[in-house]
Amino acid sequence: MSRHNVGRRSFLIAGGVTALGTLGLVSACDSADDPANTADLGQKEAPALAEEVKAGRLPKLEERLPANPLVVQTVDRPGKYGGTWRTVAVGVEDASSWMLQTIYYDNVLAWDAAFPNNGGIADVKANLAESFTSNADGTEYVFKLRPGIKWSDGKPFTADDVVFAVNEIAVHPEVSPAPNSRFVGLDGKPGKAEKVDQYTVKITFTGPNGLFLQGMCSAGGWVLAAPMHYLQQFHGDHMSAKPADWVTAFKTKNDPFGNAERPTLTAWKVTTPIGGGSQVVVERNPYYWKVDQNRRQLPYLDKVVYSIVTDAEVGLAQVSNGQVELTSRAVNSTRNKPVLANARAKGGFDFFEVKTGQMNANTIMFNLTHADPVKRQIFGNRDFRVGLSLAINRKEIIDGVYAGQGEPWQAAPRPDSPFYDQKMAKQYTEYDVAGANAALDKAGFALKDGARVGPDGKPIEFVVLVSTSNPTIVQAMGFITRFWQAVGVKATVQSVDETLFFERVTAGQHDVAVSTGDGGDNPILYPYRYIPTAPRVSLFGPAWGTWYLSNGAQGEQPPAAVAKWIEDYKKIRGTTDATTATNLMKGILAGVRDEFQVIGTVLPIHGYGVVKNNFHNVPKSIPGDLTFPNVGAAHPEQFFVD
């Protein structure tokens, strides 16, 4: 199998006559000269589509493509048409996330696939847009769209679709009463889109929004485009009489994973949507607007099948048995790697590297906005958190769960990040039972009959919520609860489906929640494990996150220190000056370090994915920061089965 190390500086995309710096590098040792591995370069579209054209059921290829399609330079070689990509997800929530990270990354803007600046402005490239500009203070952005792109139903993609996506969805007061922060300026007011001409859109903010372009490159950046011609009929503002539940119905129709009728701009379109079944199927979009270097329409693959399992072990078995063409999710744990390594020959697969941007393998987040005043008092005690951190034998976890790989680490940026702070990373990571007991004594929770007693006179007990999609976290928490029991604190691990996990934590219905830690490379883009910017993921303060997102209208006002971090982060979002933003973020992190609200355990090593030996054009190494959609930014439309 030919596989190429496409590192952080070695991708290239050519968009018509415009270089876009975002795709694969042709190999110096390419195997395309082998006749058995050579695609028919004269075949400009999938045979099934050619038959549809011949039968008069589909327009000719030149009528389906834009005049200036985005050209993808393939990683290994031009591919063959046909075949299926099978992959796996643990639960519906995981399937949605995995789809977003893989096949739904066709935004107006996209990351440079080499990701050389960890999400800096220089990494932002055009995609559905041919070009884009912004003013100095980040209040005005102009996008010139690629003319001639069509939705999967053949209707034109124009400026109207972007204006509709912004004004009538992203910032609409009924559809999005608390708009995503990407669409809100520093003054707390949402942006507005304006049609300049058929293919030009201007988005303006009354206050600066310096991170808007980076936000549009994220895995959720597709919200900047929506099929107005289809969705308009379900929108209350376009109805003669608004039904009371029109917003719910509209969101159902706008669900790209759950509604097979919704047109798309992506390489494949949902035909078997997410629901109660065990599979999600997406099939070739005949109007897809990218081509390879020989002007052959992409994608090569006919379809992608997502197998939804309830247990990661089932997914592991599927991968081991060679029933998955590619995955870098759900089963790719350190614990599973020896199992998969032993199954490589039988399963016919190999590994590729996923360069992690995570700052922690297990981020332990006590609910500091807990509804129970006793638990809130306990969890809010810094000495309590320090004591529990010192009680953790991280070396034992590294050896027992992570095969000796990793190092003790708090919830702090990675060593190669410009935001690295050694004190933040290493404080309270030593295994010190005496120090742990001293800190718990200082917290005021006396040890009585082997149990620490809370302010209500009862033994301190709480539940730790973990998602079944993270089996290594479940395993690690087995160690950690034992360490805590040794200093008199009883914790019980509850492992639930990822959908239920997010329902509970978003509503603040958890004592403690544990997840991986994002923002290891660039916390400016993903600050939510450090400061409470989103209730769904800032699990240490979900009510504070709601307060932030609603600009103080909902949720709970945080204490002064946290409120100051939020204000400073708003200033970051309000500047386009990288130096100013960096200095503000470093100041925030210093405060986060001193407050010590979140406990970390282990710095993750780089991860891996699994790919079948006959599945080609997959880079040997792909950035894996959550900011960077892995593997979507590696352009899966070029993947093919040989």
Tell me the residue ranges of DSSP E strands in 367-511: 407-408, 447-448, 451-452, 461-467, 490-496
471 to each of 101, 373, 399, how far by Cα in Å? 20, 31, 16
Label residue 4 by pLDDT band (50, 70, 90). Answer: very low
Which residues on neighbouring strands pair with residue 517, listed in sequence order?
A: 360
Amino acid code (one letter) for 582: T
Which residues contact residue 209 at a Cβ distance below 8 angstroms, ignoring those fewer than 6 apart? Answer: 138, 139, 182, 183, 184, 185, 186, 191, 573, 574
More reliable by pLDDT, 551 or 361 = 361
Amino acid code (one letter) for 546: T
d(CA 278, CA 457): 48
The SS3 call for residue 221 is: helix
pLDDT at 34: 53
Amino acid code (one letter) for 601: T
Of 536, 562, 568, which Cα lies nearest the Cα of 549?
A: 536
Which residues contact residue 214 at a Cβ distance below 8 angstroms, ignoring those fewer than 6 apart? Answer: 119, 121, 123, 124, 525, 627
d(CA 51, CA 442): 77
pLDDT at 37: 61
DSSP conformational letter for 310: S
> What average pLDDT does the segment 567-587 reach?
90
**By mean pLDDT, which of 241-245, 325-329, 625-629 is the weakest?**
625-629
Q: What percentage of the chain has pLDDT greater than the value 70?
A: 94
Tens of pLDDT, residue by residue over 523-563, are 998 899 999 999 999 999 999 999 988 889 899 999 999 99
DSSP conformational letter for 181: G
Of 594, 348, 471, which Cα lies nearest the Cα of 94?
A: 471
Q: Count CA atoms closer than 13 A to 435's CA, side-chain side.
A: 14
d(CA 511, CA 443): 19
Which residues on neighbouring strands pair with residue 363, listed in sequence order?
A: 515
Q: Count CA atoms closer than 13 A to 411's CA, side-chain side.
A: 32
pLDDT at 1: 36
Contact 633, 105 (CB under 8 A): yes
d(CA 471, CA 107): 32
Token pair recorded at residue 357: 């941007």
> What average pLDDT does the segment 569-581 reach?
86
Q: Tell me the CATH number of domain 129-238, given options 3.40.920.10, 3.40.50.80, 3.90.76.10, 3.30.70.240.
A: 3.90.76.10
DSSP 564-582: HHHHHHHHHHT---HHHHH
d(CA 48, CA 182): 40
Tens of pLDDT, residue by residue over 484-495, are 999 999 999 999
CATH, range 360-603:
3.10.105.10
pLDDT at 122 over 90: no
Tens of pLDDT, residue by residue over 418-460, are 899 999 999 999 999 999 999 999 999 999 999 999 999 999 9
Highest mean pLDDT among 80-89, 108-117, 354-363: 80-89
More reliable by pLDDT, 91 or 34 = 91
> What average pLDDT does the segment 127-150 reach?
95
More reliable by pLDDT, 457 or 607 = 457
CATH, range 13-103+268-356+606-641:
3.40.190.10
Contact 140, 202 (CB under 8 A): yes
pLDDT at 22 over 50: no
433-443 and 382-390 helices, crossing angle to 10°: 160
DSSP conformational letter for 79: P
Label residue 36 by pLDDT band (50, 70, 90). Answer: low
Q: Is 450 exposed, middle or buried (0-12, 13-18, 19+ CB in 10 A)?
A: exposed
d(CA 495, CA 228): 41
Of 529, 564, 537, 532, which Cα lies nearest the Cα of 548?
A: 532
pLDDT at 30 over 80: no
Tens of pLDDT, residue by residue over 214-247, are 989 988 766 889 999 999 999 999 999 999 999 9
Tens of pLDDT, residue by residue over 253-281, are 999 999 999 999 999 999 999 987 899 99
Q: In the chain, where are the structural domains located?
A: 13-103+268-356+606-641, 129-238, 360-603
